């Protein structure tokens, strides 16, 4: 099958509004958590989140168009623009029938739906709805908008698999290129669920941290006192390209996509399998797909949400798959910095891995204070400080409600 490389990167995160800012945030161990500003959260059990900061949509998109878009679609367009520009893709020079877009979202336009329902209820049930309600809300509008803007007429859709969505998007884009169906794919994910319903819904599940008195350190993957995840928002996009196509146009190659896998836990709607069965299986499949052994991986960017059950089961899965090799690699959760970007988490974390390859460092798991005795102390979970390391290959895990598991392996490009 054809080889697939990464030639473009775009990011909009709570710790950096572009690739340069995101890299700096990862290198500095920045916490993206703060008091919620999108709505009045003073009566909620959780009053903080990892929001995108200092971002004005009108700086990137025409003001009239902004009114017709939910934030999740705006975030997707902005990161796709950055990735496409970063890759130097010129639609005038491409066969646009062979350029596709897969941008995922776990939830889509929640804020839009929430606002419209509120206005309907306050209007005494009079059915007056914004004509853009449906196109603003649906998850697949994000890839549709990017394809319309650039004239990309290849494969185009959204994948919805909760927090695994954008890793599944990368996997699908990877497959379409190596199978020969497209030459270039824009792949990523976007989420803007820091709304009253988003916070309220996750809070009612007792999934969120309630550490309102210590916001900056609330996201504590692997810490004994972790009490839930911190909701985040943002987006990320990759330009994936067939190797010879990239070389022919002289593109900068950041990394090569080596393999990917997808499985199901078949266990519970929200809880992970206690022994990490689905997580172990998906990593095994990704390694086999890449033709690699556990010893070939230098860094795992884990799902690591800062929940009691999830963190333990993922570590068990890593130890089951990697054996003794688990003690020679770095593991970290960048959600400790960005919060949980839900459907955008996978691509944001894959980008963190690609940046690790290109800058020879391991992003840290910040906010670690107390060791959890259930975790093997011999594992290098990269606590609190980034570590210098020559990184040749990374594995990125994402697991979603419903038992959806996805892993992708990216490695340093060697011709």
How many Cβ atoms are within 10 Å of 323's Cβ, its own excluded?
11
Q: Which of 168, 245, 273, 340 is catalytic?
A: 340
**CB 138, CB 108: distance < 8 Å:** yes
Active site includes 96? no
Of the candidates 271, 218, 234, 254, the residue with the CA atom closest to the CA atom of residue 357: 254
**What are the CA-CA distances from residue 117 to residues 114, 128, 141, 318 (Å)?**
5, 10, 20, 44
Active site includes 168? no
**CB 307, CB 163: distance < 8 Å:** no
C-alpha 373: how far from chain center: 29
Give the C-alpha separation, 214 to 367, whole Å: 11
Of the candidates 144, 16, 122, the residue with the CA atom closest to the CA atom of residue 68: 144
End-to-end CA distance of the chain: give it in Å, rounded.
Answer: 16
Q: Which helix (H) or strand (E) holds 63?
A: helix 63-66
373's tokens? 């005795």
- Using CB atoms within 10 A of its CB, is residue 380 exposed (0-12), middle (13-18) or buried (19+)? middle
Give the C-alpha separation, 285 to 403, whole Å: 16
164's tokens? 């695994």
Active site includes 163? yes
Residue listed under structure tokens 């299986």: 281
How many Cβ atoms are within 10 Å of 138's Cβ, its own excluded?
17
Give the C-alpha separation, 345 to 141, whole Å: 19
Q: Which of 139, 163, 237, 273 is catalytic?
A: 163
Q: Which of 245, 273, 303, 368 is catalytic?
A: 303
Give the C-alpha separation, 192 to 236, whole Å: 12
Residue listed under structure tokens 């078949």: 266
The catalytic site residues sit at: 163, 303, 340
């Amino acid at each position: 099958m054809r080889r697939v490389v990464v030639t473009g990167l775009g990011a909009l995160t709570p710790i950096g509004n572009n690739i340069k800012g995101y890299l700096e945030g990862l290198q500095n161990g920045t916490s993206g958590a703060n008091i919620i500003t999108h709505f009045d959260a003073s009566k909620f059990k959780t009053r903080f989140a990892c929001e995108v900061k200092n971002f004005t949509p009108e700086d990137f998109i025409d003001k009239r168009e902004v009114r017709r878009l939910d934030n999740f679609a705006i975030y997707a367009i902005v990161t796709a623009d950055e990735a496409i520009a970063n890759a130097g893709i010129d639609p005038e020079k491409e066969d646009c029938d062979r350029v596709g877009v897969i941008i995922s979202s776990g939830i889509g336009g929640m804020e839009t739906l929430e606002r419209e329902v509120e206005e309907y209820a306050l209007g005494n049930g009079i059915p007056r709805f914004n004509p853009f309600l449906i196109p603003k809300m649906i998850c697949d509008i994000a890839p549709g908008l990017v394809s319309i803007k650039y004239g990309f007429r290849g494969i185009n859709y959204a994948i919805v698999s909760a927090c695994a969505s954008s890793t599944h998007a990368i996997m699908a884009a990877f497959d379409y290129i190596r199978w020969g169906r497209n030459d270039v794919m824009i792949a990523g994910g976007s989420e803007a669920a820091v709304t009253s319903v988003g916070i309220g819904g996750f809070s009612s599940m007792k999934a969120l941290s309630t550490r309102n008195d210590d916001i900056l350190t609330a996201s504590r993957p692997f810490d004994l006192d972790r009490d839930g995840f911190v909701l985040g928002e943002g987006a990320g996009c990759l330009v994936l390209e067939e190797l010879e196509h990239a070389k022919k146009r002289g593109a900068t190659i950041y990394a090569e996509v080596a393999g990917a896998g997808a499985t199901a836990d078949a266990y519970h709607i929200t809880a992970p399998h206690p022994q990490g069965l689905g997580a172990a299986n998906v990593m095994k499949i990704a390694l086999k797909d890449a033709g690699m052994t556990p010893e070939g991986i230098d860094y795992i960017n884990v799902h690591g949400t800062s929940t009691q059950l999830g963190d333990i089961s993922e570590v068990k899965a890593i130890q089951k798959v990697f054996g003794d090799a688990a003690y020679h690699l770095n593991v970290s959760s960048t959600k400790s910095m960005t919060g949980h970007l839900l459907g955008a988490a996978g691509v944001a974390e894959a980008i963190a891995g690609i940046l690790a390859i290109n800058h020879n460092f391991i992003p840290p798991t910040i906010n670690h204070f107390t060791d959890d005795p259930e975790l093997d102390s011999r594992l290098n979970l990269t606590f609190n400080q980034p570590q210098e390391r020559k990184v040749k290959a990374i594995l990125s895990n994402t697991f979603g409600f419903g038992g959806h598991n996805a892993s992708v392996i990216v490695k340093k490009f060697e011709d």
